Structure 1
Amino acid sequence: MKTTLLKILTLSIMTLPGWAALPEGHPAPSFKAQASLAGKAFNYSLQDALKKGPVVVYFYPSAYTGGCNIQAHSFAVNHEKFASAGASIVGVSLDSIERLNDFSADPNYCASKFPVASDADGAIAKSYDLSIRDAAPGKTDSRGVEITHGFAERTTFVITPDGKITATLGGLKPEENVAKALETVQKLGFTAQTN
């Protein structure tokens, strides 16, 4: 009996995800942050965005780094598909607003398609139960600029207009993360709002 119980317990632990994040069904912490769209800073409010439909909130380690560049580009390329499903996108990182002004307008990455928000002190990431790593001294981005901020773990949350998390997506490669987020919002059955 003990052997069977030990095997079940071991199997259960092995199948747990390697990351901790707020689970599906949990209320999404509301936040306001300085964000950038097309190189221009503005005040972003998750609560206001949810009034228009589902929101894909994706946390990423840093602008202008390998996987983050791929993920931002993939969200930009698929932006119209998200919009057709009634969803908006916001990226969140510990980057400064100055770095995000460049990243949001860069045609190779965000391409002025969606906002990216600055969580410089990591408070938003922590409210979503994401881990944050300290900056590594001397680490530079793909432009050769030193990265002086910490890194939140790459995790995407799909949030419905009632403020609930309907999907928590972590542990995926950047393009898989975007594809899974798109699949999730398409299954929700919302449509683009017309003004």
Structure 2
Amino acid sequence: MSERLQPGDVAPDFTLPDADGTEVSLSARKGRKVIVYFYPAALTPGCTKQACDFTDNLDVLAGAGYDVIGISPDKPEKLAKFREKESLKVTLLADPEKTVTEAYGAYGEKKNYGKTYLGVIRSTIIVDEEGKVERALYNVRATGHVAKIIKDLGI
């Protein structure tokens, strides 16, 4: 089990392929605030709702200086389908080995219908311009989450 991040921690750097196979690094975003969110699977109802919410609010978030990166264990090809099908504008990254997901504490025990299993914990980590964790939100809901972030950040 990986440790959950806390405000003030240095956000683990990562380099992962996006939906087109282009490598994207967190360190390349230094000087920008970055909302990194982890979701279980592309093309599923909750994850689609969340990705569409981020896309719908991208202009507001970008205007306040935030980039948005979504990370899931899906392969780049599936992310490309997800992006095309839902007209997503957020950067989607593939973490099939779950190394980044684990480094961010977004992988662990989950309960669903009484069963306990290991999986991606829907989480959002807000990283400041210096690469430090500003906020670490775990077990978030797909619906209404983006509106809550905007409100909490005072955007």
Letter in 1 for 2:89: K
Q: Secondary structure at the match of 1:24?
A: coil
Structure with greater proportional strand content: 2
- Give 5+ residue unaligned stretches, structure 1: 1-19, 135-149, 188-195
Residue number in structure 2 paired with 1:78: 57
Q: 1:44 aligns with which of 8, 17, 24?
A: 24
Q: Specify every segment of 5 or more residues in structure 2 that has no aligned partner in the other structure, as ranges.
A: 111-117
Tell me which of 122, 132, 146 is aligned to 1:154.
122
1:56–1:103: structure 2 CA closer, same or farther, 3 Å change rule? same
Which of the pair is proportionally richer in helix?
A: 1
Pair 113,185 (structure 1): closer, same or farther in 2 beyond 3 Å: farther
User: Contact between 1:104 and 1:115, CA under 8 Å: does it hold in 2?
Assistant: no
Query: What secondary structure is seen at the aligned counterpart in 2 of 1:44?
Result: strand
Equivalent residue number for residue 6 of structure 1: none
Aligned letter for 1:47? S
Residue 31 (structure 1) aligns with: 14
- Using the size of structure 1 for normalisation, the TM-score is 0.69
What corresponds to 1:64 in structure 2? Answer: 43
- How far apart are 1:70 and its partner, in Å? 0.6
Aligned-pair identity in percent equals 28
Contact 1:167 1:184 (8 Å CA) reproduced? no
What number of residue pairs does the alignment pair up? 147
- Name the amino acid aligned to 1:25: G
Name which one, 1 or 2, has greater alpha-carbon Rg. 1
Contact 2:122 2:141 in 1 (8 A): no
Distance 1:172 1:130, change over 3 A: closer
What is the alpha-carbon distance in structure 2 between the residues aligned to residue 184 and residue 41 of structure 1?
33
- 1:21 is paired with a residue of what secondary structure? coil
Alignment counterpart, residue 114 of structure 1, candidates 85, 90, 98: 90
User: Do structure 1's residue 183 and structure 2's residue 127 form an aligned pair?
Assistant: no
Q: What's the counterpart of residue 132 of structure 2?
A: 164
Question: What root-mean-square deviation, in Å, do the aligned CA atoms of Structure 1 and Structure 2 show?
Answer: 2.2
Which position in structure 2 is the counterpart of 1:21?
A: 4
> CA–CA distance in 2 between the matches of 1:127 and 1:73?
25
Q: Which structure has the higher relative contact order (CA within 8 Å, separation 6+)?
A: 2
Question: Within 5 Å, which residues of 2 pair with 1:7-18?
Answer: none
